[in-house]
Amino acid sequence: MNPKKIMVWLLAVITLAFAFSAASSETLGFGTVNAEDVALRETPGGRKLIRLPKDTCVWIRDTQTDSQGSLWYEVNAEYWDEGTYRGRSGWMKAEFIDAGDALWHDILSVKAGQYGLMALRKDGTVACVCDIQNPELRGWAAGLRDIRQVSLTWLGWGFYALSGSGTFIDADGNTQSNIRLACDYGYPYLITRDNRLLTGGATGLQWIWPADVSPEQLSHVTAMTNTEYRLLLLTDEGRVYAAGFADSEVFYPEPEWEKWTDVVSIDAGISTFTGGRPYQFTFAAVRKDGTVLAAPEQLADMLSAWQDIRKICIGYQWVLGLKGDGSVVILAPGGTKTPDVSGWTGITDIGNGGDYIVGVKADGTLLFAGEHDFSD
Per residue in 353-376, pLDDT tens?
Answer: 999 999 999 999 999 999 998 865
Question: pLDDT tens digits for 238-263?
Answer: 999 999 886 655 556 789 999 999 99
- The CB density around residue 326, as the number of other CB atoms within 10 Å, is 15
State the pLDDT confidence band at 186, using cuts at 50, 70 and 90. confident
CATH architecture for residues 100-370: 7 Propeller (2.130)
Residues of the chain with CATH 2.30.30: 3-98
Residue 204: pLDDT above 90?
A: no
Question: pLDDT tens digits for 64-117?
Answer: 999 999 999 999 998 887 778 888 999 999 999 999 999 999 999 999 988 889
Is 319 in contact with 336 (CB distance < 8 Å)? Answer: no
Residue 333: cis peptide before it, omega within 30 degrees of 0: no
- What predicted TM-score, i.e. pTM, was given to this entire model? 0.90
* Percent of the chain whose predicted confidence (pLDDT) is above 90: 69
State the pLDDT confidence band at 221, using cuts at 50, 70 and 90. very high
Residues of the chain with CATH 2.130.10.30: 100-370
Tell me yes or no: is domain 3-98 CATH 2.30.30: yes
Question: pLDDT tens digits for 124-173?
Answer: 999 999 877 676 788 899 999 999 999 888 655 689 999 999 999 998 88
State the pLDDT confidence band at 26, using cuts at 50, 70 and 90. low
pLDDT, position 158: 83
